[in-house]
Amino acid sequence: MSEKRNVVLFIATSLDGYIATEEEQLDWLFEVEGEGDNGFSAFYETIDTVLMGRKTYDWINNADNMDEFLYKDKRSVVFTRSTLEDNDHTHFINQNIEGFVKQIKQEKGKKIWLVGGGQLVSTFLENNLLDEVIVTVAPKIIGKGIPLFPEGTYKQNLSLEGVQTFNQFVELRYKVDKK
């Protein structure tokens, strides 16, 4: 039997479950006192593919300090409902997310990172595509914003695998219980 690659949601959230403000700002997150790179490079070593929604892709490309695409050393896939042309570092997919993800999970390689955002997370949950969830919780309550888990028709049980603190951040690591 071939070994499937895990799809891992690795994401930071406010304590009240938001990944950005409504204006797509992340200042509240970046001002938190962490430790080192808060486990990012260790995680980044474990993956070779990044998956993200078109809004997250735009956010990354528009970030003030971003001269070049952040994940250009990885295979990078962006989901959209429009038709967008591939470029040097990114492949755009506009149909059958489920089929695409199931297919790349069968390919040889490292883990697959679901970067976000919330809309894409809900699609993955609705299609039972997630294998692991690593959430880094910031000690911030921001009241409103873009939810990590938007309302949806999904329900998911998880098993806690580990907890680690990075100064003010808490990282929660879960395995997704398969249905």
Ligand X SMILES: NC(=O)c1ccc[n+]([C@@H]2O[C@H](COP(=O)([O-])OP(=O)(O)OC[C@H]3O[C@@H](n4cnc5c(N)ncnc54)[C@H](OP(=O)(O)O)[C@@H]3O)[C@@H](O)[C@H]2O)c1
Footprint on this chain of ligand X (rule: CB under 6 A): 11-12, 19-20, 24, 26, 29, 52-56, 59, 79-82, 97, 115-120, 123, 146
Q: How far is the CB of 123 from ligand X (least distance, A)?
A: 4
Longest Cα–Cα distance in the chain: 47
Q: Which is nearer to ligand X, 55 or 111 (CB)?
A: 55
CB 171 within 8 A of CB 163: yes
Name the strand (E) or helix (H) holding 11. strand 7-14
Instruction: Please identify the residue of the shown chain whose CB is closest to the bound ligand X.
Output: 117
Within 8 A by CB and 6+ apart from 77, the residues are 49, 50, 51, 52, 90, 91, 92, 93, 100
Pairing verdict, β 18-20 and 146-147: antiparallel
Q: Which is nearer to ligand X, 3 or 16 (CB)?
A: 16
Q: How far is the CB of 67 from ligand X (least distance, A)?
A: 18
Q: Which amino acid, 137?
A: V
Q: How far is the CB of 23 from ligand X (least distance, A)?
A: 9
Q: Which is nearer to ligand X, 2 or 76 (CB)?
A: 76
C-alpha angle 72/45/101, rounded to 5°? 65
Q: Which is nearer to ligand X, 93 or 158 (CB)?
A: 93
Can you tell me the distance from the alpha carbon of 104 to that of 129, in angstroms, rounded to the nearest whole number? 11
Q: How far is the CB of 2 from ligand X (least distance, A)?
A: 26
Q: Which is nearer to ligand X, 77 or 120 (CB)?
A: 120
Q: How far is the CB of 30 from ligand X (least distance, A)?
A: 10
